[in-house]
Amino acid sequence: MPLLRFAAVLVIGACAGCSTLCAPVPGGGADSPRPFADVPNPPRCDLVWSYAYESGSLRYGTWIYEGRPDTDEVVDFYKRQMPREDWRYDETVRTAETVLRYAKGEKQVEHCDITIGRANWLGNRYVIVTVTGSYAR
């Protein structure tokens, strides 16, 4: 009986989407902090989990989005938007996922990594945006 109950929960959760199956760690969720003003949200995605911390010139944030954008759509979007926010393009790494890396600041001590996952069987993909480092005020 417990196995049948587990299977039912798994099927219902899969039908509901990742936001119910991928439980956020404590402190996360859709009502968590929004991205920093200089880091745009990916196109056609909803925020499903986030964490942000800022103290003095140090800041750290991770935002997990889910949606149906094409990988190239996300890459093109960030290549257009990030320079407008004073982010310098560093590199793109394409493996099973696509990772865009940007740097900011005179000494390039702040970084933004944008990880674009593969689409799942429902056509959804995740985009993870992470900012780390410090910036000059």
The better pLDDT of the pair 135, 30 is held by 135
104 located within any domain = yes
> Residues 41-83: pLDDT tens digits?
999 999 999 999 988 889 999 999 999 999 999 999 999 999 9
Whether the pLDDT of residue 34 is over 90: the answer is no
CA 136 from chain center: how many Å? Answer: 24
82 located within any domain = yes
In the chain, the number of structural domains is 1
7 located within any domain = no
Prediction pTM value: 0.74
The better pLDDT of the pair 36, 46 is held by 46
Q: Which domain, by its residues, includes 88?
A: 23-134
